[in-house]
Chains A and B, each alone.
Chain A
Amino acid sequence: MDATIEVRGLRKRYGPTLAVDALSFTARPGQVTGFVGPNGAGKSTTLRMIMGLDRPDAGSALVGGRPYRSLRTPLCRLGAMLDASAVHPARRARDHLRWLAHAGGLPRRRVEEVIELTGLASAAGRRAGGFSLGMRQRLGIAAALLGDPPALMFDEPVNGLDPEGITWIRGLLRSLAAEGRAVLVSSHLMSELEGGADRLVVIGRGRLIADTSVADLLEAASGGRVELRTAERQEAMTVLARAGATVTAAGPGAVTVAGLPAERIIALLTGEGVAFSGVSEHRASLEEAYMELTRDAVEFRAVAGREAP
């Protein structure tokens, strides 16, 4: 169980605000776990508590089954990039990695290895103050990989990167997970994780909203809805509503139907003689699913509040 990051009942309060509350999830080996939530949801706080930088008020965070602060060679257990800009601008990139290797008790050759791995070879002798965002990101990833750890954490790794950089990081994350590492990636945009994550941990206002696989989430969000394209929109809506479906107009020649399977819709429309040009299963995007999820959570809280005065 070396390559797991496990969070149990974590809570952290900053003054009057509860940043994280009763949060539990696990990032498993061989998977990219997306850690998603809007800005200020408590993602960075959670990552800092996993690394032992912030002290949780309750609960625990374990890396490979042990608290981070008890690890003797922590860089070989968990690599993390919390903040790519956290480099002294007057220091050369290679020197930054060098002191980190010393501090982590790692062999000196690792510095050149990670420089090679992240494609920094030509920039390693330059001062970090002159680095572009993309290069800082690479330097941060190089630092995370220094100990060749079985578990990795990245806080907003693609934030502000160009498309080329985003593609590179996605590929890197996938290949790291494919080697059997646990990879935890936080983001405030679900779209950034589309096609990149195997599993999603969604939080809002410091609480867990969903802990699910991407496939399950999409299926749930799609909710068996069907998209229908027809020129006779009014007639189609009347027919389907009479059959018990929930019908919403989705454009000039399109309706979304919920509550009836596709075969039944085709049969109904054909029976009533309503012309249509296409019927397709609705496939929600990850972003839509995320919006749906957070909205549901808000509604649930509101209802719960009414029931318990």
Chain B
Amino acid sequence: MTAATSYRSTVQAEARDGFGRLLLAEWTKFRTVPRWVLAVGASVALTVLVALLTAAGSASSGTGEGTADPARSGIFDMGHFTYQPLEGDGTVTARVTAQEGGARAKAGLMIRGSAERGTPYAALAVTPGDGVRLQTGYRDGGAGGGPGALPRWLRLTRSGTTVTGYESPDGRAWSRVGSVRLEGLPRSALAGMFVAAPDDVVVERRFGSESISGEPAAATAAFDRVSMVPARPGAAWQDRGTPGGPGGPAEPGAGGSTLSGGTFTLSGYGDIGPNAFADDLTKTILTGVLIGQTAIVAAAVLFVTSEYRRRTLRTTFAASPRRGRVLAAKALVAGLVSLAAGLAASCGAMLLARPMLRSNGVAPPPLWDAAVLRAVLGTAALLGVIAVFAVAVAVIVRRSAPAITIVLLLLLVPQIVATGLPLSAARWLERLTPAAGFAIQQTVARFDRAIGPWAGFGVLCAYTALALAAAAFLLRRRDA
């Protein structure tokens, strides 16, 4: 036996073992197959194209139907408000003694900037269904508080731009409900009592599909022991009805206030707060990702299954035997590439759709609005997570045809079967399938929303995490 001197690798000393190198390897793999890069580009192009088509379509719906109902564009600012001016800091107190108008009808106190539509406000209201709530803004916002049993004392205190709400069963023991900061609340504000009621949602099934409409609802409530601090003796109570809506000046008697023996009775129509029936223009423009994602899913699946089909997975594992890290690198590269593509697609869609919307007389969504920004960036993140999900499913299934079919089916199933389904069933599909992730595109809390933006995105992430865990387990266990 020759005691040959063992050969020593000349590059051993330079070799580095690290996750960064693995990422670089997977990135090299991805970018050197032209059709995958092409697919990612196609997904961006498709998403933007659909955005342009929908933006063009938004014009045709606008013409011929007259001016859009102002109450339908974004916010509700209706109901009835009986007020006095409030200079600087101060407090308004009242007792709600009776209330009509259903479980969600609101009766309480409000401090707001002016009688103009859409000015900042804080409202402390008692509702039969939800108890006492402090509410602000025209999207979401506010804080919950105690029970809503009548009679109930309410108190709203302004200090600077902070408005704090208190409630009490007897007018002696007060508990704090919460406080809100109203940016832009002028020094001379208005304070008083209000009633409001969210629209009744009416679902009707005919001809094999369901339609939904909102019917303005009426609310009436009685207040007594009304006091203002600082008191302005002799100041008259003024009324703000529902501008432009039912119960406005055009319909006398539909809303208003009466005062008899220290008891105010207010009645009004409609709600104040977010318009649950508003069109979600941002979501509509970004819906092109439903199409764009197909190319991303195909590329992400092939990124994995081609390694099985071409048997390069063995080479990959020969170079980096720790398989969990390989999966992590692969998922990360697919996710980041898709994230970048999603960012290009959603930004491109929003920016290119703007001039088209404007020329059609539609105001484009404000880009720096928090909800719009969440939708735009969320769409990018959505595509990233979808790519990771596709990678995980592809590792589990190992073949491209079933993997693509399964992923697309799961992501699109609520869209496909929703037309025939009752809305309640369709909503459950949108909550429970990975398609829930598309909720991140919402900018309006609509009446038909199945799940909140972050919760929906969380559902998709949970599915992805589960699939990744299963993929990692199988990858380690199975022979390559």
Residues of chain B within 8 A (CB-CB) of A29 are 4-7
Closest to A149 in B: B9
Question: How many residues on the A side are at the interface (Cβ–Cβ under 8 A)?
Answer: 57
CB within 8 Å for A54 and B6 given contacts A48-B314, A103-B21, A105-B18 = no
- Asked whether, in the complex, the Cβ of B315 is within 8 Å of the Cβ of A143, the reply is yes
**Binary contact readout B303-318 vs A (1 if CB under 8 angstroms, 0 otherwise):** 0001000111011111
- Asked whether B11 lies within 8 Å of A148 as measured between CB atoms, the reply is yes
A: residues with CB less than 8 A from B are: 1-4, 28-31, 48, 51-55, 68-78, 80, 82-83, 85-92, 95-96, 98-107, 110, 143, 147-150, 179-181
Query: In the bound complex, do residue A2 and residue B312 qualify as a contact, i.e. CB atoms below 8 Å apart?
Result: no
Shortest Cβ distance from residue A165 to the other chain B in the assembled complex, whole angstroms: 21
Contact B32 A104 (CB under 8 A): no
B34 at the interface (CB under 8 A from A): yes
Give me 6 A-to-B residue pairs in the complex whose CB atoms sit less than 8 angstroms apart, sorted by A's number: A2-B7, A55-B479, A75-B318, A95-B32, A105-B21, A150-B8
Q: Are B320 and A179 in contact (CB under 8 A)?
A: no
- How many B residues have CB within 8 A of the partner chain? 42
Residue of A nearest to B28 (CB): A99
Check B479–A54 contact: CB distance below 8 A.
yes
- With A80-B318, A103-B316, A150-B9 in contact, is A98–B28 under 8 Å at CB? yes
Minimum Cβ distance to chain A for residue B313 (Å): 9
Q: Which 4 A-B pairs have the closest CB atoms?
A: A30-B4, A102-B25, A103-B25, A95-B32
- Contact yes or no, B319 A77, CB < 8 A: no
Which chain B residues numbered 293 to 347 have a C-beta less than 8 Å away from chain A? 306, 310-312, 314-322
Contact A53 B310 (CB under 8 A): no
> Quick check: A76 and B7 within 8 Å, CB to CB?
no
List of A residues within 8 angstroms of B26 by Cβ: 99, 103
* Cβ-neighbour of A88 out of B15, B21, B310, B480 (below 8 A): B310
User: Chain A contact residues: over half helix, strand or loop, or mixed?
Assistant: loop
Shortest distance from the beta carbon of A268 to any chain B beta carbon, whole Å:
41
Partner pick for A69 among B11, B35, B319, B321, CB 8 A cutoff: B321
Q: Does B425 contact A (CB under 8 A)?
A: no
Using a CB-CB cutoff of 8 Å, which residues 466-480 of chain B contact chain A? 479-480
Would you call B10 and A95 a contact (CB within 8 A)? no
- A110, B22: Cβ atoms under 8 Å? no
Within 8 A of A (CB), among B1-49: 1-2, 4-12, 14-18, 21-22, 24-26, 28-29, 32-35
The answer to whether A102 and B317 touch (CB under 8 A), given A2-B6, A3-B6, A91-B33, is no
Which residue from A92, A103, A106 sits with its C-beta under 8 Å from B32? Answer: A92
Cβ-closest chain A residue relative to B317:
A53
Q: Given contacts A52-B317, A53-B480, is CB(A147)–CB(B32) below 8 Å?
A: no
Nearest B residue to A113, CB-CB: B11
Partner of A53, one of B9, B22, B29, B479: B479
A180 touches B17 (CB 8 A): no
Task: Tell me the complex Cα distance, A150–B6, Å.
Answer: 7
CA distance A86 to B316 in the complex (A): 11
Q: Determine the chain A residues whose CB is within 8 A of the CB of B321 once the complex forms.
A: 51-52, 68-71, 74
Task: Tell me which residues across on chain A come within 8 A of B310, comparing CB atoms.
Answer: 85-89
Contacts of B28 in A (CB 8 A): 95, 98-99, 102
Q: How far is the CA of A147 from the CA of B480 in the complex (A)?
A: 22
Are B17's CB and A105's CB within 8 A?
yes
Contact B8 A2 (CB under 8 A): yes
**Also in contact, A75 and B15, with CB within 8 A (given A30-B4, A91-B33):** yes
Q: How far is the CA of A179 from the CA of B9 in the complex (A)?
A: 11
Report A285 CB to chain B, min CB distance, Å: 25
Add 10 more A-B contacts to A88-B310, A99-B32, A103-B316 (CB < 8 A): A29-B5, A31-B4, A71-B321, A76-B15, A78-B318, A95-B28, A103-B320, A147-B11, A148-B11, A150-B7
Least distance between A76 CB and chain B CB atoms (Å): 4
Give chain B residues whose Cβ lies under 8 Å from the Cβ of A30: 2, 4-5
Residues of the A chain whose Cβ atoms lie less than 8 Å from the Cβ of B479: 48, 53-55
Contact A105–B16 (Cβ < 8 Å): yes
